[in-house]
Structure 1
Amino acid sequence: MRQLIVRRLLQAIPMLFVVSVVCFGMIKLAPGDPVLSFVTPNMHAEDIERIRHNLGLDQPAYVQYLLWLKECLSGNLGYSLVNHQPVLDQIVDRLPATVGLMGISIALAVLLAIPLGMIAGANRNRWIDKLINLIAYIGISVPLFWLAILFIYLFAIKLHWLPSMGMRTIGKESALDVVKHGILPCAVLTIGFLASYVRYIRSGTIGQFKEEYVQIQYAFGSKKSTVLFRHVMKHVLLPIITLLGMSMGDLVTGALVTETVFSWPGIGSLGMTAVRGMDYPVIMGITLFSAVLLILGNLAADILYGVADPRIKSGEVSS
């Protein structure tokens, strides 16, 4: 297991390098100029060039990247071009809001998807399977920003049940107030994750019902529900570890649009603000941070795989 961890960490180094190069290149190829956010109608061309020089944007792109990489290797993700605040401090300040929202959404989606996907797979092509499939297809097809606007209109504007935006009501510091503000964005994100998770678990359940051990259990007189929840379930849940590992990156970037619609003060809204302002240090910081989480999530999934199934553990080490 130690060899597996060391090997994966060494593999992550070139991967992070490639991610940073691609992201930096895409930012430089994108239309727009971050200097324009500082320009006023009365500025002269010399003033604009002075701002460009102070921001380091007058140098070639590869020089800008090498300077950023040098600072990044020293633990400094740079400073925002818009508000001049340290990028790492901004990410750390907004991280709890995003992780709390995304963590609860992913957990709810998994808890709901396991029984729904297994029931749909166990009753393939029956009415319950078609109904769950229909709901899943709707969840996959509906854009989250449209669903968020619909929820705001229905539950906040029409029914006045829940607040429409923000994380707290001005003047209130209670945990209940935060929960009320988080219900709508959490519901939207849960629906988005739930749809894909249900399809994933349903497919795994159908595959397990074709295995010989299921037929053997039927031959011993086991009921379908017993086979489903006692034998099939543990085999279906094993790939969920990988699914959760791949969702680690979503803890940071999975709520870009949803946080923006609901004005949730997380990393997603910070990223959207950075994109609009061509604030490439913030964009690079968020991208790199999410890539690190994704790599660590996959590593954690491999470790948990070895814990859950010793055969996988021995196979990984021997390879």
Structure 2
Amino acid sequence: MRRLIVRRLLQTVPMLFFVSLVCFALVKAAPGDPVLSFVTPNMHADDIERVRHNLGLDQPAYVQYVKWLKEGLSGNFGYSLVNHQPVLGQIVDRLPATAGLVGAAIALAVLLAIPLGLLAGANRNKWVDKLVNLLAYIGISVPLFWLAILFVYLFAIRLHWLPSLGMHTIGKNGALDVIKHGILPCAVLAIGFLSVYVRYIRSSTISQLKEDYVQIQYAFGSAKRTVLFRHVLKHVLLPVITLLGMSLGDLVTGAIVTETVFSWPGIGSLGMTAVRGFDYPVILGITLLSSVMLIVGNLLADMLYGFADPRIKLTR
């Protein structure tokens, strides 16, 4: 296992380099000029070029990339072109809000997906399975931004049950107020995750029920519920571990649209502001951080495989 971890860590170096190169190239190829945010109607052309020179945007693209990469390796991702604040500081300040929101949504989705997926797989082609599949397909097909707007209209505007915007009520800073503001965005994200998780767990349950050990347990007189939750569940957790590892990157950028709709002060809304303002350093910082989290998530998933299934550890 230690050798596996070292090998995977070494593989992340060229992967991160490639990701940073592609992200930088896409940002540079995007339309728009960040210098325009500093231009006033009466500004002279020489002053505009001076601003461009001060920002380092008059240098060739490869020089800008090497300079940005060198600073990034030392933990300095530059300063925002909009508010002139350190990029890393802004991301760290907003990370708890996004991590708490997306983490709660993932946890809620997993807790609901496991029993629903097992129930659907154990009752294949019955009305329970068809109902779960229908709801899962609807959750996958419906855009999250439309679902978020629907929730705001229904629960905030029509019923007045929950607040629609922000993370705090003005003058209130309690944990209960934060939870109340986070119910709607958390529910929207949870529906998106739940729809995907249920499909994977259902498929894995169906395949596991065909294995010999299940038939042996039935031959010994074990109840269906016991077979599902004591034996099949252990093997069903393997794809769940994969999904959780892939979802770790969503802790950074998984709520961009949802945070924008609900005005949640997380990294998603920061990224949307950066895109609208052509704030290249912030865009690159968020993209690189999400890539690192995704790679770390896959590494953690490989490590958890060995604990969930000893056969994988012996094979490796």
Shared fold per TM-score greater than 0.5: yes
Counterpart for residue 50 of structure 1 = 50
Query: 1:237-275 CA deviation, whole Å, 9 max, x = no partner?
Result: 122111111110000010000001100000011111111
**Partner Cα distance (1:62, 1:290) in 2:** 23
SS of 1:169 mapped into structure 2: coil
Query: 1:79-127 CA deviation, whole Å, 9 max, x = no partner?
Result: 1111111010001000100000000000000000000011001101100
Q: Kindly state the Cα deviation for residue 26 of structure 1 after the two structures are TM-superposed.
A: 0.6
**Partner Cα distance (1:209, 1:311) in 2:** 19
Cα contact 2:234–2:308 (8 A) shared by 1: no
Counterpart for residue 106 of structure 2 = 106
Is 1:221 the counterpart of 2:227 in the alignment? no
Counterpart for residue 23 of structure 1 = 23
Greater Cα shift, 37-46 or 261-270: 37-46
Q: Kindly state the Cα deviation for residue 311 of structure 1 after the two structures are TM-superposed.
A: 2.0
The code of the aligned residue for 1:289 comes to: L
Q: Which aligned pairs between 1:307-318 and structure 2 lie closer than 5 A?
A: 307-316=307-316
Counterpart for residue 74 of structure 2 = 74
What is the aligned-residue identity percentage? 82
RMSD: 0.9
| TM-score, with length taken from structure 2 | 0.98
SS of 2:236 mapped into structure 1: helix
Counterpart for residue 120 of structure 1 = 120
The code of the aligned residue for 1:295 comes to: I
The code of the aligned residue for 1:307 comes to: F
Runs of 4+ that moved beyond 6 A:
none
**Partner Cα distance (1:7, 1:161) in 2:** 51
Greater Cα shift, 184-193 or 213-222: 213-222
Is 1:7 the counterpart of 2:1 in the alignment? no
SS of 2:299 mapped into structure 1: helix
**Partner Cα distance (2:314, 2:41) in 1:** 68
Counterpart for residue 191 of structure 2 = 191
**Partner Cα distance (2:277, 2:208) in 1:** 50
Q: Give structure 1 stretches of 5+ with no counterpart.
A: none
The code of the aligned residue for 1:244 comes to: L
Q: Kindly state the Cα deviation for residue 298 of structure 1 after the two structures are TM-superposed.
A: 1.1
The code of the aligned residue for 2:158 comes to: K
Counterpart for residue 208 of structure 1 = 208
Query: 1:36-82 CA deviation, whole Å, 9 max, x = no partner?
Result: 11111111211211111111111111111011001011111111111
Is 1:64 the counterpart of 2:64 in the alignment? yes
Cα contact 2:68–2:77 (8 A) shared by 1: yes
Q: Give structure 2 stretches of 5+ with no counterpart.
A: none
The code of the aligned residue for 2:157 comes to: I
Query: 1:6-63 CA deviation, whole Å, 9 max, x = no partner?
Result: 1111000000000000111111111111111111111121121111111111111111
Greater Cα shift, 212-221 or 238-247: 212-221
**Partner Cα distance (1:265, 1:3) in 2:** 40
Greater Cα shift, 224-233 or 259-268: 224-233
| TM-score, with length taken from structure 1 | 0.97
Q: Kindly state the Cα deviation for residue 292 of structure 1 after the two structures are TM-superposed.
A: 1.0
**Partner Cα distance (2:161, 2:218) in 1:** 49
Counterpart for residue 290 of structure 1 = 290
